[in-house]
Amino acid sequence: MTDDASVAGEPDTRDLDDFLDDIYRAQERISQAEIYRRAVAAELPPDLLARVDAMPEGEYAVDEASDLLGGSVG
């Protein structure tokens, strides 16, 4: 198995984890609207954009955003 392969059918979360690490650098909480704006600017894949868009409005810590979006950052 290569590093690019998903494990046991689980989606590869590296793009999402890297994105969250980047946007939460020196930030404690970020609004859903700002996460979405940055996701579009980062040209995340459409499935990730759809997940961000589906998040309820509000502010999120990195672990909360990761849990909602299916990442492993926390």
Per residue in 9-42, pLDDT (tens digit) is: 345 678 889 999 999 999 999 999 999 999 999 9
Per-residue confidence (pLDDT) for residue 73, from 0 to 100? 77
Per-residue confidence (pLDDT) for residue 74, from 0 to 100? 67
CA distance 9 to 23: 27
**b/e per residue, 7-40, with b = 16+ CB within 10 A?**
eeeeeebeebbebbeebbeeeeebebeebbebbe
Per domain, the residue ranges of the chain are 24-69
Per DSSP, the three-state class of 38 is helix
Indicate whether this model's pTM tops 0.75.
yes
Cβ-Cβ contacts under 8 Å for 22 (sequence gap 6 or more): 42
pLDDT grade for 5, boundaries at 50, 70 and 90: very low
Per-residue confidence (pLDDT) for residue 34, from 0 to 100? 97
